[in-house]
Amino acid sequence: MPTADPAIQLNRVSRHYTMGETSVRAVNELSLSVANNEFLALLGSSGSGKSTLLNLIAGLDRPTSGSIFAHGQNIASLNSLDLARYRCNTIGMIFQSFNLLPRMTLEENIELPLRLAEVDRSERPARVREALERVRLTHRLGHRPTELSGGEQQRVAIARALVNRPKILLADEPTGNLDSATGEAILTLLRELRTQLGMTIVMVTHEHPLAEQFADRLAIMGDGKLLSTTTAKGLPQ
């Protein structure tokens, strides 16, 4: 359950793009607080700015103005190298299209963040196995992503996101490429992991019912602004 200390704190964050002579305000003066261990769903129509906001929290993009604190660290002021370290050690990310590297086996895909974090080689196999156990895919260790179903690929992507034991898990439309049953299974897994590992989860989704079912809180965005936040009905305890 969420605790009072915010894991993520956004203060009047803006992200403006210039397209030709037009300035696009993808995120506009947005302030939001995400509590530690909270599962927040970001909802909104296409172009509302939810993915841009997720990229800003992930440290993949920089805000035009405002500050973003993640566990007390203002990531808007970090240099390129520190931002990479932040992505490596604090953030785990999963995508709609899984983004597994097709040329690598599952083991190699999951090992990749460990390589980037310079984790000792001897420690890596156990960490990879542990991550795969959490998503219940240890039997597919040597397989390549293309040999897996969509749901399995997303579970591998979750294992890869978890392997560095991040404090924040960011999910960009994690069920977008999956059928509803598989999508539900993935979100069930995310909820379980949140409880087991004490992570904060921010998920971008179009699917209101799923968000309502699995998230703690829903944040509705429109035109780059936060329109409302509501507490979700949640799963029956």
Partner 1 sequence: MKPRDLADLAFRNLRESILRNALTTLGVAVGVASLVAMLSLGVGLQQLASKRLSQSGLFDTILVTPKNAFRGIGRPQREPESDKPPRVLDDDARKEMEKLPNVIEVYPQVRFFTEVRFNNKPFATVVAGMPDSSRNSGSFDGMQGNFFSSTTANEAILQIEFAKDLSDKPSSLIGQELVLRYAERQSLPSAAAGTEATANPPDSSGGGFSVVPKELRLKIVGIVETEPAAGYGGYGNARLLMPLATASTLRAAQVNDLRDIVRDSNSGKTTFASLSVRAKTPSQVDALETSIKKMGFNAFSLLDASKSLRTFFTVFDSLLGIFGCLALAVATLGIVNTLVMAILERRREIGVLKALGAADSDVQQLFFLEAGVMGFFGGVFGVLFGWLLGRAVTFGTNVYLQRQNLNPIELSSVPLWLVFSALIFAILVSLAAGLYPASRAAKLNPVDALRYE
**Closer to partner 1 by Cβ: residue 80 or 146:** 80
Q: How many C-beta atoms lie closer than 10 Å to residue 145's C-beta?
A: 20
Instruction: Give alpha helix (H) positions in 18-97.
Output: 50-58, 80-89
Q: Which of 41, 66, 87, 169 binds partner 1 (CB under 8 A)?
A: 87
In angstroms, give the least distance from the CB of 84 to partner 1: 4
Q: What is the largest CA-CA distance in the chain?
A: 54
Sheet holding 217-222, edge to edge: 91-94, 168-172, 200-204, 39-44, 217-222, 225-231
Name residues contacting partner 1, limited to 161-220 (CB under 8 A). Answer: 164
Quick one: how many helices (H) and strands (E) in the chain? 7, 10
Alpha carbons 210 and 11: distance in angstroms, whole number: 28
Number of residues that bind partner 1 (CB under 8 A): 27
Report phi then psi at 153, rounded to 5.
-60, -40
CA distances from 5 to 37, 94, 134, 237 (A): 9, 24, 27, 24
In angstroms, give the least distance from the CB of 91 to partner 1: 8
Alpha carbons 190 and 123: distance in angstroms, whole number: 25
| Element containing residue 40 per DSSP (H, E) | strand 39-44
Task: Confirm or reject binding of residue 122 to partner 1 (CB under 8 A).
Answer: no
Per CB under 8 A, the segment of 53-61, 129-137, 140-148, 196-204 that binds partner 1 is: 53-61
**Closer to partner 1 by Cβ: residue 115 or 208:** 115
Q: Give residue 97's identity as a one-letter amino acid code.
A: S
Q: Which of 101, 123, 136, 192 binds partner 1 (CB under 8 A)?
A: 101
In angstroms, give the least distance from the CB of 105 to partner 1: 11
Task: Confirm or reject binding of residue 61 to partner 1 (CB under 8 A).
Answer: yes
Q: Which of 42, 93, 189, 226 binds partner 1 (CB under 8 A)?
A: 93
Task: Confirm or reject binding of residue 235 to partner 1 (CB under 8 A).
Answer: no
**Closer to partner 1 by Cβ: residue 84 or 227:** 84
**Closer to partner 1 by Cβ: residue 93 or 131:** 93
Name residues contacting partner 1, limited to 142-171 (CB under 8 A). Answer: 160, 164
- Residue labelled with tokens 């261990």: 37
Name residues contacting partner 1, limited to 14-33 (CB under 8 A). Answer: none
Q: How many C-beta atoms lie closer than 10 Å to residue 45's C-beta?
A: 11
Q: Which residues bind partner 1 (CB under 8 A)?
A: 55, 58, 60-61, 80-81, 84-85, 87-89, 91, 93, 95, 99, 101, 103-104, 112-113, 115-118, 121, 160, 164
